[in-house]
Amino acid sequence: MNSFNTLLFHPLKNDAGILLPDKFTFPFYYEPHPLSFLAANDLQKYLETQTDFDHNFGLNPNQAGLVIGKMFGVMVVKNAHEQIGYLAAFSGKLADSNDIKGFVPTVYNTLNEVGFYKKGEAELNLINGELETLEHADELQIAIQNVREAKQTYETELKAFKTEIKIQKQHRKQQREVAKTNLDTLVFKKFSEELDAQSITYQIRLKHLKRQWEEVIKDLEEALNVLLMPINDLKDYRANLSASLQKRIHEQYQFLNAKGETKHLLDVFKNTTSPIPPAGSGECAAPKLFQYAYQNNLQPIAMAEFWWGASPKSEVRKHQQFYPSCRSKCEPILGFMMQGLNVDDNPIEQSISYAPDLEIIYEDDYLLLINKPHEFLSVPGKTSNESVFTKMKSYLPNATGPLLVHRLDMSTSGLLLVAKISIIHKQLQKQFIERSVKKRYVALLDGILQDTEGNVNLPLRVDLDNRPQQLVCYLHGKQAITNYKVIAIENQKTRIYFYPITGRTHQLRVHAAHNQGLITPIVGDDLYGTKANRLHLHAESLTFTHPITKKELTIICKAPF
């Protein structure tokens, strides 16, 4: 038996004498501590050679079964004997099980065959089977068809009769006009009354037709409702049972924190924007790691999570790469579980400032272009007011309008167009909307790109579980198109020009990193690649028509990398 799965506390060899961190890892934005690297490396060696479970990660093309990559987590901990080791966990299920030797258990095991969830699930399955039988019964299908055919026949007859009424009305109008010319007053009056009577007759017939068919349809619908009643009652019972079962499950997820306090899942999410916990909440690796550490008096030291296996179709996930904990499910849970721990500060909430004046590349009486620094906001954020917009408000106190014509991601540097007058802003923004503005970005990709030029067309939408990251989504995503051209290969990296046709959030970053895109992330991309000193993406050139002179302007600001 492999030594890994004989323990849950895996001793960690620290031959290099790596110092313990002063604070625990902030799990939503971090660089793995060296001890976390050691732990992850040890776990990955096990995953490469293990024969303890059978799961298709998509790394072996000859392996059968559905390909499911998996997020794994390691937590470096210290036991009561001051020994350093690590705990291992996986998100969700592994090999269709919650219980894999060597990995910490789930907070609550929904797969327990004798537990209430499995019993409730079995009852729901029985109800579903009964509903399927009732809904496919011949008597019900005939009743549904009778109502459908009656409504169709009624609609056809009603349409035909209304057409006849319209034709007869036109005919009577023509008769009245001829008679008015050819008949004397008394005779015309009598004839006109006869035409009015015909009109009334048609209206009576129309009412009778409607009443007759409404009664027929009502009788058929009542017969159908008699058959639907037990189905609807059963669906109501299923809904109540499912809600009760879900509530009871949520209450079983009892999370601990470093203070020894306990909260169940509903209480954790109670005061969030989504008080109903998302599906899978509590099943990620991080909550499992914290729970086991607290239950066994192990002191959390550091943590890291990595992806193992083939990338999913929508997200950017690279084999063996580290990623932060998910936001929608884990942020409320870990926010509670980390109470009492000394945790690294959230870098996202730290004040963003840029003391120097922004570099102005071009300016006239109507507009200007500045060189936005990397890691600086275009507009004020939730936790920081410092931005290009606020600096421009100070620089142009008499300007009117929204000022910024477009935006750049915080991590991206380069040209930003600013309008001094409201009407100029409107005219420039129209050019962006009509896509007549030509944009060129320069980037450094973390690898060698084989194609020298081409096009990426991958629709994007926000990852609702992990904002602000984006997903490739062909169902709900917005069109996102990028042209590109390789400039040079430098030290096993590719310098490239990007020409975005659309302007979606993180478009260039996702198109570069995604496995359906260039499969080569931008150097320093801390969301879709590997963090470095900065994101190597720069808005280098902007071409547009000046609203006043009507001349085409091309402004260039060379990349600082």
Q: Which spans in 376-484 are helix H?
A: 388-395, 422-433
561 assigned to some structural domain: no
| 162, 216, 466 from 149: Cα distances, Å | 20, 11, 49
Residues with Cβ within 8 Å of 236's Cβ and at least 6 positions away in sequence, in order, are none
**Exposure string over 514-552, b if 16+ CB within 10 A, otherwise e:** beebbbbbbbbbbbbbeeeebbbbbbbbbebeebeeeee
Residues 6 or more apart whose CB falls under 8 angstroms from that of 31 comprise 531
Q: Are residues 304 and 328 in the same domain?
A: yes
Q: Is residue 187 part of a domain?
A: yes
Are both 184 and 318 inside the same structural domain? no
Lowest mean pLDDT among 110-114, 187-191, 232-236, 409-413: 110-114
154 and 217 co-located in one domain: yes
Give the confidence band of 401 by pLDDT, cuts at 50, 70, 90: confident
What span, in angstroms and rounded, lies between the C-alpha atoms of 314 and 319? Answer: 15
Q: Is residue 113 part of a domain?
A: no
Query: pLDDT tens across 112-154, in order?
Result: 766 787 888 899 999 999 999 999 999 999 999 999 999 999 9
Task: Give the chain's domain count.
Answer: 3
Question: Do 387 and 495 share a structural domain?
Answer: yes
Q: Are residues 309 and 394 in the same domain?
A: no
Residue ending a domain, among 314, 348, 382, is 348
Q: CA 140 to CA 143: how far, in whole Å? A: 5
d(CA 89, CA 93): 10
If DSSP codes are grouped into helix, strand and coil, which group holds residue 372?
Answer: strand
Alpha carbons within 13 A on the beta-carbon side of 177: 6
For residue 121, being part of any structural domain is answered with no
Distance CA 125, CA 241 (A): 12
Same domain for 68 and 40: yes
pLDDT of residue 1: 35
Summarised one tens digit per residue, pLDDT across range 498-512 is: 999 999 999 999 999
DSSP code string of 233-287: HHHHHHHHHHHHHHHHHHHH-EEE-TTS-EEEHHHHHTTSS--SPPTTTT-SHHH
| Same-domain status, 284 and 367 | no
**Do residues 250 and 266 lie in contact, with contact meaning Cβ atoms separated by under 8 Å?**
yes
Catalytic residue among 409, 446, 463, 525: 409
Q: Are residues 101 and 178 in the same domain?
A: no
Give a yes or no: residue 22 inside a domain: yes
Amino acid present at 248:
R
Question: Please, how many CA atoms are within 13 Å of residue 30, restricted to the half-sphere of its CB?
Answer: 25
What was the pLDDT predicted at 2?
Answer: 54
Q: Does residue 458 form part of some domain?
A: yes
Same domain, 495 and 370: yes
In whole angstroms, what is the distance from residue 561 CA to residue 559 CA? Answer: 5
Kindly tell me the burial class for residue 59, based on how many C-beta atoms sit within 10 Å of its own C-beta (0-12, 13-18, 19 or more). Answer: middle
Q: Are residues 548 and 469 in the same domain?
A: yes
Q: What mean pLDDT is reported for the chain?
A: 93
- The encoded tokens of residue 320 equal 């063996």
Measured in whole angstroms, the distance separating CA 295 from the mean position of its chain's CA atoms is 34
Q: Which amino acid is at 215?
A: E
| Class of residue 43 by CB neighbours under 10 A (exposed 0-12, middle 13-18, buried 19+) | buried
Q: From CA 28, how far away is CA 277, in angstroms rounded?
A: 19
The domain of 200 spans 133-249
Q: Quote the CA–CA distance of 523 and 465 in Å, as a whole number.
A: 25
Q: What is the mean pLDDT of residues 47-70?
A: 93
Cβ neighbours of residue 557 under 8 Å, at least 6 residues apart?
Answer: 361, 369, 371, 414, 415, 538, 539, 540, 541
Taking 80 as the threshold, does the pLDDT of residue 4 lie above it?
A: no
pLDDT tens digits, 81-104: 999 999 999 999 999 999 999 999
CATH, residue 388: 3.30.2350.10
* Pairing assessment for the beta strands 481-490 and 493-500 based on DSSP bridges: antiparallel
Instruction: Give the tens place of pLDDT for each residue, 311-369.
Output: 998 999 999 999 999 988 999 999 999 999 999 998 776 667 777 889 999 999 999 99
The answer to whether residues 502 and 387 belong to one domain is: yes
Question: pLDDT per residue over 218-251, tens digit each?
Answer: 999 999 999 999 999 999 999 999 999 989 989 9
Domain-embedded: residue 116: no
CA dihedral sign of residues 422, 424, 425, 430:
positive
Q: What is the mean pLDDT of residues 176-182?
A: 91
Whether 244 and 281 map to the same domain: the answer is no
The pLDDT of residue 189 is 93
Boundary residue ending a domain (324, 348, 372): 348
**Whether 409 is catalytic:** yes
Residue that is last in its domain, among 333, 348, 363: 348
Q: Average pLDDT, stretch 205-221?
A: 96
Query: Can you say whether residue 209 is alpha, beta or left, with left for phi > 0 and alpha for psi between -120 and 50 degrees?
Result: alpha
Asked if residue 425 belongs to a domain, the reply is: yes
- What phi, psi does 102 have (nearest 5°)? 95, -15
Report d(CA 324, CA 326) in Å as an integer: 6
At residue 203, what are phi and psi to the nearest 5 degrees? Answer: -65, -40
64: its two tokens:
């059968």
Query: Residue 160 pLDDT > 50, yes or no?
Result: yes
